[in-house]
Amino acid sequence: MEVQKAYKFRMFPDQQQQDYFWHNILANRYIYNIARLQKDHYYSRHRKQRSAVFDVAREFTILKAENDFVKKADSLSLIYSMRALDQAYVNFFEGRANFPKSRNKKHKSYVTYRLGIYIDEGFIKFPKVNKPVKTIFHRDFPEGAVLKSQTISTTGNNEWYISCQFECTEELFIKKEVKEETTIGIDVGIKDFAILSDGTKYDNNRYQEKSLKKLKRLQHELERRVAYSNGWYETRNKISALHSKIVHQRNDYQHKISTKIISNFDTVVREDLNIKGMLKNHHLARVISDAAWGMFFQKLQYKADWKGKNVIKVPQFVATTKPCSACGWKNDTITLKDRVWICEKCGTKHDRDINAAKNIKAYGLNIKYPELTGESTTVDNRQPLGAVDEAVNPALTGEKPVKKRARKSKVSGSSKVKSRRVST
């Protein structure tokens, strides 16, 4: 079954590109309102409907030739506006909507199609604009998705977005089966950022530690400064610059780890974050780590969603540190200092964190030892691929899917990014 979905991405247009977008919004608003008036007059005189696309289009061509303002706009978007107007009247006559109104100042978007979307390069090419527009593609389109139309919109504070509507078969949204050999358990910590049940450890990066020390020093410096003095502003700016540097470094690092984990495994089992523990402990490193884990889990989640993979959460009350992952014996005397311990029952030597990660994995696979109580979170096999940003009305698009399919860059061990173009 074909399903309609939409993903919304943030764009970063420069001034010239913003002017272009505004030009299109205004031209579309203008054309829509003029066509609506013509349809209205025609209806009041002849008591008959008239299609904006077919009947008004002739006048619209004349208008375009005469009007430089309209001529400079994206012509596909203007055609789309005509279609949307026709559909608005159809919806009204069939009792689904109110009588079509004029578009006013609040209408800050327009729809177009056939844009050149370059996911790996991170930009979109628009007609009549030389420079491509920088875009953050925080998610990939599912394989085999056919792009239908794109909505360009802006918010009050000058942020620009593009919502890409696409169609894909529902099979793409079915998740992978949970199997032992393709499942990994993840434990998170302060010393090591993430510890996997297969023994892999991801270091909590040194540069982050360095930045944290510097941040602490600057915060003390800010406290000593006279509020709102030049020196105070200087320190404050340094702090915000350092904050954004830390965020960027951490993001890069988390993207690398999460991409690797999701491409290597079909099911990821992780602990639910200990919110209570977080609130109790106000130590700077701890607070920042907590925030980092939350962001890391978010990345894992949406990357899993892209690829139809599973993320299983282990509830907080489940003990994952104490049980021996080999036999289930419970080590009640383990303390925070014990990095390595030996099981008294089976004699297995455990790395504390790897053992916890193994227990987390076991929980996810429903292999329950008496000590691992609580119900496992169920895996919803029919969960859609990420959130849908906007409802898509197929009638509005009125297009047949173009045969050209979104090509996928091959995911191999190397970090080489292949160029790929998605078009409508």
Burial of 85 (C-beta count, 10 Å sphere; 0-12/13-18/19+): buried
DSSP secondary structure string for all residues of 347-362: --EEEHHHHHHHHHHH
**Distance in angstroms (rounded) separating the CA atoms of residues 120 and 271:** 32
Which of 101, 243, 345, 404 contacts Zn ion by CB under 5 A? 345
> At closest approach, how far in Å is the CB of 334 from Zn ion?
13
Q: How far is the CB of 331 from Zn ion (least distance, A)?
A: 9
- The least distance separating Zn ion from the CB of residue 359, rounded to whole angstroms, comes to 12
Quick one: 151 or 331, whose CB is closer to Zn ion?
331
Q: Coil, strand or helix: which one is 246? A: helix
Number of H helices, E strands in the chain: 10, 15
Q: Which of residues 288-327 bind Zn ion (CB under 5 A)?
A: 324, 326-327
Cβ of 2: how many Cβ atoms within 10 Å?
A: 10
Binding mask 151-190 for Zn ion (x = CB under 5 A): ----------------------------------------
Provide the token pair at 393: 């009305």
| 166 membership: H or E segment, kind and range | strand 160-169
Is 265:184 a contact under the CB 8 Å cutoff? yes
Q: Which residues contact 70 (CB under 8 A, 6 or more apart)?
A: 27, 30, 31, 63, 64, 78
Minimum gap (Å) between residue 238 Cβ and Zn ion:
51
Cβ neighbours of residue 262 closer than 8 Å, sequence gap 6 or more:
268, 300, 303, 304, 307, 309
Instruction: Please state the closest distance from residue 332 (CB atom) to Zn ion, in A.
Output: 13
Tell me the C-alpha distance between 234 and 308, whole Å: 48
Distances (CA, A) of 281 to 192, 274, 277, 278, 317: 18, 11, 6, 6, 18
Nearer to Zn ion, 97 or 346 (CB): 346
Question: Rounded to the nearest whole angstrom, what is the least distance from the CB of residue 283 to Zn ion in the complex?
Answer: 33
Does position 329 interact with Zn ion (CB under 5 A)? The reply is: yes
Segment interacting with Zn ion, rule: CB under 5 A, options 24-32, 328-336, 360-368, 403-411: 328-336
Q: Which of residues 347-376 bind Zn ion (CB under 5 A)?
A: 348
Residue count, binding to Zn ion (CB under 5 A) = 8
Piece in contact with Zn ion (CB under 5 A), picked from 162-170, 270-278, 285-293, 344-352? 344-352
Among 37, 241, 346, 402, binds Zn ion (CB under 5 A): 346
Task: Closer to Zn ion by CB, 63 or 324: give it.
Answer: 324
One-letter amino acid for residue 179 of the chain = K
Nearest distance from C-beta of residue 315 to Zn ion, angstroms: 23
Cβ-based nearer residue to Zn ion, 241 or 327: 327
Report helix angle 15-46 to 75-93, nearest 10: 40
Shortest Å distance, C-beta 344 to Zn ion: 8
Part in contact with Zn ion (CB under 5 A); list of ranges 27-35, 100-108, 304-312, 337-345: 337-345
Nearer to Zn ion (CB atom), residue 26 or residue 326? 326
- Closer by beta carbon to Zn ion, 246 or else 324: 324
**What's the rounded Cα separation, in Å, for the pair 175 and 171?**
9
Nearer to Zn ion, 205 or 321 (CB): 321
Kindly state the smallest distance separating residue 348's Cβ from Zn ion, in Å: 5
The residue ranges that bind Zn ion (CB under 5 A) are: 324, 326-327, 329, 343, 345-346, 348
